Amino acid sequence: DDIFVADETAEVDNPRESYIVVAERPPMKQFLSPNYIFLAIFFAFHQSRNIWVLTTTRDFLAFLGDDETGNRYLKIFTLLTPASVLGLPFVDVVLHKYGYGAGLAVVNLLAISQGIVQVSSTNLNVQIIGFVFYSFYRCFLFSVSFSCLPAFMSGEVVGRGYGFLILGGGLLCLINIPLSNVAVKQLGGNFFIPNLFYLLACVPCFFCCYVISRGFKKEKSQELARLRQSKMISAG
């Protein structure tokens, strides 16, 4: 929960009784802050989804007929994946203009866009559109998530914060094992149901974006309160 010394609605002219910014809390309470918890949930899910796409695209495209083309579309996917760096200027614009909550929402929107392409069409040419979405998705996922963390955590815990994010993503990736087994062994190589699962699971992630955005607004409000208090003291 958010930490308050007194009331959340405390007036800005008494900042000592208002919201305590995450970076000034004890290390454990920083990890238990809504910002960190929901960022960890968000990143773990999307890292699992990212690995799912990377490891199953070969079989997914084969089911759609890519083997008959000499794996042409797999080659296109492989070439487009590192092109994700082209999304960095867009990341910068989104973060500076709209904030981290919006940046994470863009991650989710790109994941949903690619997921819709995956489940709605068996045309390999249409899948190229999904490859483009995926490239930008990877760029936004790692750039926004990793730049978000030091924006609210203190320097002494941010390293451990990164470690826990990656650990959570790695553990959640284990669900990809039964999902791939279902697709290959029970569905005859048809990845529609697992892909649909990941598509639908993106929707609750918007709540994570909302909570994180709300948390940053509280952080900014406290900073403004302190600045106003400082000016009042200087003027006095």
Mean pLDDT of 211-216: 94
Residue 123 in this model has a pLDDT that exceeds 90? yes
Mean pLDDT of 39-62: 96
Dihedral angle, C-alpha 30, 32, 218, 212, nearest 10 ° = 110
- Note the pLDDT of residue 6: 34
Q: Give the single-character DSSP code of 152.
A: T
Q: How far apart are CA 12 and CA 76, in angstroms?
A: 55
First to last CA, the chain: 36
> For the whole model, what pTM was predicted?
0.88
Tokens of 175: 């669900």
Q: How far apart are CA 134 and CA 60, in angstroms?
A: 15
Secondary structure of residue 9 in the 3-state scheme? coil
Q: What percent of the chain shows pLDDT beyond 70? A: 90
- Label residues 17-56 b or e (16+ Cβ within 10 Å = b): ebbbbbbebeeeebbebbbbebbbbbbbbbbbbbebbeeb
Cβ 148 vs Cβ 96: under 8 Å:
no
Dihedral angle, C-alpha 103, 104, 105, 110, nearest 10 ° = 90
Tokens of 174: 């284990």
Q: Give the single-character DSSP code of 11.
A: -
- Residue-wise pLDDT for 156-208, tens only, equals 999 999 999 999 999 999 999 999 999 999 999 999 999 999 999 999 999 99
Number of continuous H segments (helices) and E segments (strands) in the chain: 10, 0
Question: 93 exposed, middle or buried (CB, 10 Å; 0-12, 13-18, 19+)?
Answer: exposed
Which of these, 170, 172, 77, lies nearest to 125 by C-alpha position?
Answer: 77
Q: What are phi and psi of 130, to 5 degrees?
A: -65, -35
Mean pLDDT of 24-36: 94
Q: How far apart are CA 232 and CA 236, in angstroms?
A: 6
Banded pLDDT at 1 (limits 50, 70, 90): very low
Q: How far apart are CA 33 and CA 45, in angstroms?
A: 19
